[in-house]
A and B are shown apart, each in its own frame.
Chain A
């Protein structure tokens, strides 16, 4: 079973626009992570936010975490064609990550 659920399932934006995707989860967590996956490739870690943090930035990425609502959001600013990929949130319990079904982002040139 998958812990997180991403919304929307798919997103199409113009290059230069911002992309926002959301993740909801069910149980308590130690941290929440976001990963990117290009078609047919492995997952690449983007950012980790701990349960006691509310916001974190990394380059063009901004992640928020609301543990009271059990939700997180990932914002990609000034999108580029190279950002086209699937994005997954993953919740960390004691020893493993549980992934959502992902958001597929298409950035149009």
Chain B
């Protein structure tokens, strides 16, 4: 158990619909990361939070994407007006004890856009 819970595990949606993913880390007030992984590729950084502050967003995160972490606990990633290219696994990770050290990943939320 990595102490990171993600919901839903799978989401199938039609193009143009909005989807929201939720990440619940076991510990609060440390860094939380979102990554996207497409088939056959490694995870790509999307964004990260230090407590409730979103400190960096990747260029991959278009204006259709928004992430929040209210109160520095759980986080949500919303994709508006989904496109087929958004189909991927969305991974959430929490930082371990040491900054810049290991990350603990959730099982991911797989999105399929039809």
A residues near B, CB below 8 A? 2, 4, 30-31, 33, 35, 40-45, 48, 88, 90, 92, 94-102
Contacts and interface: CB of A to CB of B under 8 A. Distances in A.
Interface of B is mostly: strand
A100 B2 CA distance: 22
Nearest to A102: B42
Given A33-B102, A44-B105, A45-B103, A95 B31 contact: yes
Contacts, number: 61
- Counting contact residues on chain B (CB < 8 A from A), the size range is 20 to 34
A101 B42 CA distance: 4
Which 3 pairs, one residue from A and one from B, show the smallest C-beta to C-beta distance?
Answer: A99-B42, A42-B105, A45-B102
A100 B41 CA distance: 8
B56 to A, nearest CB: 7
A41 B106 CA distance: 8
